[in-house]
Amino acid sequence: MSEEKKQRKSSRALSRTNIWLLFCIFVIGIIIGASFFLLDKQSIQQEAIDSPTEAQQGMIDSLITATEIDSKNVLLWVQLGNAYYDTAQVNLAIEAYKKALALNPNMPEVLVDYATMLRANSQLDEARTAYDKALSLSKENTLALYNKGLLLYYDIGNKAEAIATWERLVAQSPHARTPDGRLVQALLTEMKK
Segment 167-178, tens digit of pLDDT: 999 999 999 999
pLDDT of residue 24: 44
* Phi, psi of 70, rounded to the nearest 5 degrees: -130, 75
pTM for the model: 0.74
Architecture of domain 54-192: Alpha Horseshoe (1.25)
Contact 176, 142 (CB under 8 A): yes
Segment 120-161, tens digit of pLDDT: 999 999 999 999 999 999 999 999 999 999 999 999 999 999
Find all residues with CB under 8 Å of 164, minimum gap 6, and list them: none
Instruction: Please report which confidence band the pLDDT of residue 191 belongs to, taking 50, 70 and 90 as the band edges.
Output: confident
Of residues 125, 121, 117, 171, the one with CA closest to residue 145: 171
What are the domain boundaries of the chain? Answer: 1-50, 54-192
